[in-house]
Chains A and B, each alone.
Chain A
Amino acid sequence: MTDYNFAYLDEQTKRMIRRAILKGLAVPGYQVPFASREMPMPYGWGTGGVQVSAAVLTPDDTFKVIDQGADDTTNAVSIRRFFEKTAGVAVTEKTAKASVIQTRHRIPETDLTEDQILVYQVPIPEPLRFLEPSEVETRKMHALEEYGLMHVKLYEDISQHGAIATAYAYPVKVEGRYVMDPSPIPKFDNPKLNMAGIQLFGAGREQRIYAVPPYTQVVSLDFEDHPFEASKADHACDLCGSTTSYLDELIVDDEGGRMFMCSDTDFCAARREDAA
Chain B
Amino acid sequence: MDTQALEGGYANAPVDAAQAFRAIMRVMARPGTIEDITGTAPPAPLSVAAGAVLLTLCDPETPVHLAGGHDTASIRDWITFHTGAPLVAPDKAAFAVGTWDDLPLPAFPLGTSEYPDRSTTLIIERDAFSQQGATLQGPGIKDAARLSLPETEAFQANRRHFPLGLDFIFTSGSRIAALPRSTRVS
Contact = CB atoms under 8 A, between A and B. Distances in A.
23 contacts: A7-B18, A14-B18, A15-B17, A18-B56, A22-B25, A22-B28, A22-B121, A23-B167, A24-B117, A25-B25, A25-B28, A25-B29, A25-B180, A26-B28, A27-B162, A30-B117, A33-B117, A58-B18, A59-B15, A177-B162, A196-B142, A213-B139, A216-B140
The 3 lowest CB-CB distance pairs between A and B, nearest first, are: A6-B14, A26-B180, A213-B140
A59 B142 CA distance: 29
Contacts of B112: 143
B19 interface: yes
Contacts of A213: 29-30, 139-140, 182
Contacts of B89: none
A7 B13 CA distance: 12
Contacts of A72: none
Contacts of A198: 25-26, 29
A7 B14 contact: yes
Interface residue tally of chain A, by bracket?
35 or more
B171 interface: no
Contacts of B21: 14, 18, 55-56
Nearest to A200: B25
Residue with the greatest number of chain B CB neighbours at <10 A, chosen from A18, A21, A59: A18
A59 B18 contact: yes
Interface string B52-81: 000011110110000000000000000000
A12 interface: yes
B116 A216 contact: no
Interface of A: 5-7, 11-12, 14-16, 18-28, 30, 32-33, 55-60, 114, 139-140, 142-144, 175, 177-178, 196, 198, 211-217
Given A27-B181, A57-B18, A175-B182, A18 B167 contact: no
B141 interface: yes
The B interface is mostly helix, strand or loop, or mixed, namely loop
A266 B30 CA distance: 28
A59 B18 CA distance: 8
B22 A56 contact: yes
A117 to B, nearest CB: 8
Contacts of A7: 14, 18
Given A27-B182, A215-B139, A22 B167 contact: yes
A178 B56 CA distance: 29
A218 to B, nearest CB: 10
A175 B138 contact: yes
Contact of A22 (B15, B19, B24): B24
Contacts of A20: 117
Contact of B139 (A114, A143, A144, A175): A175
Contacts of A55: 21
A11 B141 CA distance: 31
B153 interface: no
Given A22-B24, A114-B30, A175-B138, 15 more contacts: A15-B57, A16-B61, A20-B117, A21-B25, A22-B121, A23-B117, A26-B180, A32-B117, A58-B18, A143-B114, A212-B139, A213-B140, A214-B29, A216-B139, A217-B139
A19 B180 contact: no
B18 A215 contact: no
B133 interface: no
Interface in B134-186: 138-142, 162-163, 165, 167, 180-182
Interface string B114-139: 11110101000000000000000011
